């Protein structure tokens, strides 16, 4: 199937963040250096968030240069950044080694700082309401290309780039461009680098990492077996197959019931509450009857519903629900005992909100707002 088999364009150069600690030691030995240099380099990169060899002053200059040349290629470069929400939200457009562009979004909240990262350039899932889905899939990102987005965000947070002084990056959501579970191995590698304690990785709490999926059932089952405590989010958007077939085309392969079964299995094994994402689209999936159907499906489950007011995307005729319908939807779900909140619409005016990431779109002000 085309969506799982992106065009090959060669591989990004190998980077420290692609490797686990053993592989790093082997790579350092292959450069002709003692293997403890791997730990030193890891401490600089994951512990102190340093990237430039010149900052690694405890390493002799020739060692520094050899390590940097062998293990720290420039994988991502800032193409441009766009800020909004008084500087509390920053979208970064990254240029990758082969000229491909992807985006990540860093968000500062009163109680936490979160980055939303891309796992693929483009996306093959073709959901008609999502800007990323319209352009199709360009290619999978490597583990290090994903980790670099996170490390850069951690650096930005730590240096106070979001204003209001430094903060600590605590949360990572795989909700940027792409379908994370269609790039399984690279995403799992990135998750491990994000949660493994320094110097192996960044040492973020597993529970503060969220992997979001359209519902690739075999990959959800595989994730269930990883012995991780990351949060699983399922982009449901409709309680019935007839509508979901049109909103999330992969539903023609794995139906609502199968996706939810896999989700409940994940919740059962990990003890983690599964997030259900539901973009409210006016007149399409926001009727009271659908809220009741959804409530009946989710009643009594270890779950939380995130309703997302539809964000406008270029060329789409769909729009967000009437606020009264949105309130009714929340009320009905809660009447089934289903924990439900409405997600904020951070970053809309810089095309950085859910479903708006499509490189190129960000240069044009969003006149729909």
CB of 279 to ligand SAH, least distance (A): 4
Q: Which is nearer to ligand SAH, 146 or 175 (CB)?
A: 175
**Biggest distance spanned by C-alpha atoms of the chain:** 68
138 near ligand SAH (CB under 6 A): no
User: Residue 56 or 123: which CB sits closer to ligand SAH?
Assistant: 123
Among the listed ranges 152-160, 282-290, 305-313, 333-341, the one in contact with ligand SAH (CB under 6 A) is 305-313
Site for ligand SAH in 20-79 (CB under 6 A): none
Site pattern 224..243 for ligand SAH (x: CB under 6 A): -----------x--------
291 CB burial (10 A radius; 0-12, 13-18, 19+): buried
Residue among 284 and 332 whose Cβ is closer to ligand SAH: 284
Per rule CB under 6 A, count of chain residues that contact ligand SAH: 18
Where do runs of H (alpha helix) occur along the chain?
21-30, 36-42, 61-71, 131-135, 143-158, 184-195, 217-224, 241-247, 256-270, 288-298, 323-335
Q: How far is CA 16 from CA 8, 66, 144, 364, in A?
A: 22, 13, 7, 36
HSE of 106, CA atoms in CB hemisphere, 13 A = 28
- For 251, half-sphere exposure in the C-beta direction (CA atoms, 13 angstrom radius) is 22
Q: Which residue is nearest to ligand SAH (CB)?
A: 355
Alpha-carbon span 112 to 107, nearest angstrom: 8
The residue from 270, 355, 362, 366 that contacts ligand SAH (CB under 6 A) is: 355
**Residue 28 contacts residue 35 (beta carbons within 8 Å):** yes
CB of 274 to ligand SAH, least distance (A): 12
Q: Is 82 in the site for ligand SAH (CB under 6 A)?
A: no
Answer for which of 183, 313, 340, 366 binds ligand SAH (CB under 6 A) is: 313
H or E segment to which residue 43 belongs: none
214 binds ligand SAH (CB under 6 A): yes
Choice between 70 and 122, CB closer to ligand SAH: 122
Is 369 catalytic? The answer is no
- Residue 354 among the catalytic residues: yes
Closest to 44 in 3D by CA, of 28, 61, 59: 59
Binding span for ligand SAH by CB under 6 A among 59-67, 125-133, 143-151, 222-230: 125-133
* Conformational region of residue 74, where left means phi above 0, alpha means psi within -120 to 50, and beta covers everything else: beta
Smallest separation (angstroms) from ligand SAH to the CB of 37 = 37
CB nearer ligand SAH, residue 88 or residue 116: 116
Catalytic residue among 103, 145, 179, 277: 103
CB neighbour list of residue 254: distance below 8 Å, 6 or more residues apart: 215, 216, 217
Q: Which of 85, 145, 148, 277 binds ligand SAH (CB under 6 A)?
A: 277
Residues in contact with 43: Cβ distance below 8 Å, sequence separation at least 6, in sequence order: 198, 199
Element (H, E) at 276: strand 274-280
Q: Which residues are catalytic?
A: 103, 354
Residues engaged in binding ligand SAH (CB under 6 A): 125, 127, 129-130, 175, 179, 212-214, 235, 277, 279, 308, 310-311, 313, 354-355
């Amino acid at each position: 199937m085309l969506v799982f088999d992106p065009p090959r364009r060669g591989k990004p150069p190998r980077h420290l963040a692609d490797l686990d600690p053993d592989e790093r030691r082997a790579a350092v030995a292959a450069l002709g250096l003692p293997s403890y240099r791997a730990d030193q380099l890891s401490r600089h990169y994951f512990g102190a968030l340093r990237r430039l060899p010149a900052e690694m002053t405890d390493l002799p200059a020739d060692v520094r240069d050899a390590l940097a040349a062998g293990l720290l290629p420039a994988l991502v470069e800032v193409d441009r950044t766009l800020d909004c929400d008084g500087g509390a939200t920053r979208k970064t457009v990254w240029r990758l080694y082969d000229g491909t562009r992807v985006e990540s979004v860093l968000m500062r909240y009163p109680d936490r700082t979160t980055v939303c990262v891309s796992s693929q350039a483009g996306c093959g899932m073709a959901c008609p309401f999502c800007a990323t889905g319209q352009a199709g899939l360009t290619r999978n990102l490597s583990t290090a290309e994903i980790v670099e987005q996170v490390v850069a965000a951690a650096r930005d947070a730590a240096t106070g780039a979001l204003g209001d002084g430094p903060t600590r990056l605590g949360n990572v959501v795989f909700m940027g461009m792409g379908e994370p579970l269609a790039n399984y191995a690279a995403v799992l590698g990135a998750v491990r680098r994000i949660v493994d304690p320094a110097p192996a990785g960044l040492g973020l709490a597993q529970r503060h990492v969220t992997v979001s999926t359209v519902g690739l059932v075999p990959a959800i089952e595989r994730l269930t077996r990883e012995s991780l405590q990351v949060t699983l989010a399922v982009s449901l958007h409709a309680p019935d197959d007839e509508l979901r077939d049109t909103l999330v085309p992969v539903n023609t392969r794995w139906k609502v019931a199968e996706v939810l079964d896999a989700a409940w299995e994940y919740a059962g094994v990990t003890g983690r509450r599964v997030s259900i994402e539901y973009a409210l689209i006016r007149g399409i999936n926001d009727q009271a009857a659908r809220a009741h159907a959804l409530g009946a499906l989710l009643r009594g489950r270890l779950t939380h519903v995130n309703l997302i007011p539809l964000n406008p995307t270029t060329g789409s005729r769909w729009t967000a629900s009437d606020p009264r319908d949105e309130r009714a939807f929340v009320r009905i779900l809660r009447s089934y005992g289903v924990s439900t909140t409405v997600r904020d619409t951070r970053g809309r005016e810089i095309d950085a909100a859910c479903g708006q990431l499509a490189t190129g779109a960000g240069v044009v002000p969003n006149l729909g707002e």
